[in-house]
Every structure is written in structure tokens, then in C-alpha cells.
Amino acid sequence: MKENTTKNILYVGGFELPDKNAAAQRVVANARILNELGYSVVFIGVDKSCNFIEHEIKELKIDDFKFYTKPQKYPKSKIQWLNFITNFSFVRQTIENDLDKNIDIIIAYNYPAITLKKLINYGRKNNFKVLADITEWYEPQGNFLFRFIKRFDSYLRMDFFHKKVDGIIAISKYLSDFYKKSGCNTIIIPPLVNFNSLNYPKVVFSNNDIINLTYVGQPFPVDGRSVSESSFKDRLDKIIDVLFELKNHEFAFYIYGLTRKQYLSVVKRHDFVIKELGNKIKFHGYIDNIEAKMKISEADFTILFRDINRMTSAGFPTKVVESISCGTPVITNNTSDLKEYIVQGKNGFLVNTEIENNLLEKMVEIISLQRKDINAMKEYCKVSQLFSHTNYVDEMKQFLSSL
């Protein structure tokens, strides 16, 4: 650890470092901003591979960025989960024993309600600023008891305890506006990336006449659970519906993240549709994050449709951030704050998925684009560095100074 003269921020939440989930990628990008502002960042996340309690803070490095971490063992049993969402002792002991209370700010990432309340009280008692990093307003899934507990937890966090913190880092305008109504000090930070990372591939330009459309992800759980259409995270089924209507046009749709069998086990009605599309649609199953970025960079467009509801309005699709950052424009509908970031015909297209004729016309226009126009869009995406963490350093500085 650094000496006690260093300004320290403790970042706590359910992220798995260094980059094992989207949450980790977000908090590391935010930590880069904080580091440029002179803060040393210590993370308390989770570790699924760990079978014991960590007792030491360890130093980690991603590319040129150094930070510190002391993860908690990922909860697996019901008792462990109950302890995880109610027990504040691991965080308190880390602050007192490892950091000697040398903390200026604590940032809680989508933190459970009970532990968030304890964190707020502890911060006030010890003169720490407590911020909430909020990226979602989810609708719980699962059995009745699980849904009840998660819904109650969400209600307490979103409607009460977040309003008690010293400041809010919101991923979307929807969340920022919600808390501003209660007089909260907020800043909007979308998902960000580090363009100096070795994990980001160079933009790939194609000379192929066939338009390469790509989807990377899992639109719903693929572990055999029963899944209802209303719980789909991404509407891959709607994408396939519209592409079926365009089957006489030249395109290829590549799907990474689930197999054909996994998809059809949930969307059984598409058995005929996928057979009819033939070689125009190809499932490739799971791929790791580095390969996923490579496949995205090779595509002409990534495509993402989502239903418009509170969950998608409050969140922000990291798939859009990844795609544009890899130099690939996005075809998507207008959820979250995307209209603030998508420049029509430059880094993507916002399409209306609610009016079928309009959607079909727009999709025909897109897949009929000239190769030079598509490559110009890819170049625009890469050069813009729209989601670089460096774009938000000054805003974060002003936000922290106002606490």
C-alpha cells in the first residue's frame, strides 16, 4: 500500500477483478479516472475461484494501471448469500486493520440495501464520504421467495438508502434524473474503456460484398432454466425475425455466446426460421472476452435490440460501448441514453423496432450500403474514442470537489 499521505478510495461491490464481468470493467475504468485525479484505489470485490477468506491486500496491474484488491469469497450457499448481503464486518475490518482508516471516499457499486445502510452510518461516524455507483434497476427473476427478497432489497436501495449517500455516480440520465429530484448530487458516467489496453484490437476493414452482422452475448440464461420471453435481456429473437424477412438480401449473421441448440431450447418457434435462413445465420457458442472483441472488430455492424422498460432505461448496454470502441458501428433501438451517443450514419443507426415496415425499410437501407461507406463508419468509430475514460476526468474532478 501507499503511505498514509495518499488519498485513498475504497471501491466495494460484486465485481470480479480484473475483467471477469462487466461490473469489473466498469469499476476499473472509473478507477483510472480517480487515479488520474491523484487517488489510490483499493477494491473489495468477489472471487469465485477463492475458497478462503483473503487476509492481505494485493497489488494488481492492468496494462499501465496499478491498483489494490482484497476480494471476498463469492457466496454460494443460501447462508453465505444472507451473510454477504447483511454482514459489514469484512469491509469494516479491511478499513480499520489494513487501511488504518486512511480512506477519503468509499464507493459502493450496486450494493445490497442492509450493508449499504451500515456503510452510510459507518462513513458518517468516521468522516468518510460515501458514494453510490448505480448501473441498474433490475426486475428480479427466480422463485417467489428469491424474487420477494431481491425486490425488497431493490426497493430499499433505490428509493431510500441511495438518497442518503453523499453523491451518486449514475450510468444513465434516467437514474441521474430520478435522484436529482430528491436533491442528490449526481454525475453521469456511461461504461468506459481504456483505449491503450492491449486487449483492444485494431479496426478491421473488409472487402467482402456480403454484410457481416454480429451479436455477442447471452440474451437469456442458457443453463437449462425455464425462461419467459418477458425476461429476455436482449431480443435476439426479434433480430432473427427481421432478418428472416430480409432473407433474399445478401448478409451473414454471426452469433457468439450460445449454440443453436441452446437458442432453440428457449425460442422453439424459430426452428423453421433458422432452417430457412440456412448459411445466413451461424451460431458459434461461448467465446472469451478477448476473442469476442476480435470478432466484433471484424464485423461490419453489431446488432442489439432490447425492450424499452425501466430496466433498459436505467441501465446502459455495454455491448454498444464495446462495439464502437472496437471500431464497429451498431444497429440498435433507442434504449437508455443511446440517442446521446449514436450519430446516425456515423457510428451506428437507431432503428424503430415497434413499427415493422419502418424497421424493414431501414434494415434494407443498412445492408445495402456500399463497402466504402461502411469502412468510413468503422474508421469514425475507432477515431472518435467516444467512451474513453479520459473524456470524463474533468467532470469527475468537479463532481468530487462538490461533495
pLDDT tens sequence across 105-150: 999 999 999 999 999 999 999 999 999 999 999 876 666 676 777 8
Among 41-55, 69-83, 204-218, 279-293, the range scoring the smallest mean pLDDT is 41-55
Pair (106, 231) in one structural domain: no
How many domains does the chain divide into? 2
318 assigned to some structural domain:
yes
355 assigned to some structural domain:
yes
Reported confidence tier of residue 229, pLDDT bands at 50, 70, 90: confident
Pair (394, 368) in one structural domain: no
Pair (149, 276) in one structural domain: no
Reported confidence tier of residue 397, pLDDT bands at 50, 70, 90: very high
Pair (237, 370) in one structural domain: yes
pLDDT one-digit tens code per residue, 144-157 = 676 777 888 889 99
Reported confidence tier of residue 205, pLDDT bands at 50, 70, 90: confident
206 assigned to some structural domain:
no
Pair (152, 229) in one structural domain: no
Pair (167, 260) in one structural domain: no
203 assigned to some structural domain:
no
Pair (20, 57) in one structural domain: yes
Instruction: Return the pLDDT at 1.
Output: 40
321 assigned to some structural domain:
yes
Among 121-130, 149-158, 338-347, 380-389, the range scoring the smallest mean pLDDT is 149-158
201 assigned to some structural domain:
no
Pair (169, 216) in one structural domain: no
Pair (219, 172) in one structural domain: no
Reported confidence tier of residue 2, pLDDT bands at 50, 70, 90: very low
Pair (367, 394) in one structural domain: no
Among 53-57, 72-76, 286-290, 297-301, the range scoring the smallest mean pLDDT is 53-57
Pair (220, 188) in one structural domain: no
202 assigned to some structural domain:
no
199 assigned to some structural domain:
no
The residue range of the domain holding 251 is 211-384
| pLDDT of 194 higher than 50 | yes
Q: C-alpha distances in angstroms, 107 versus 63, 138, 243, 322? A: 23, 20, 43, 24
Model's pTM, two decimal places? 0.92
- Which CATH number is 311's domain given? 3.40.50.2000
Pair (253, 122) in one structural domain: no
| pLDDT of 46 higher than 70 | yes
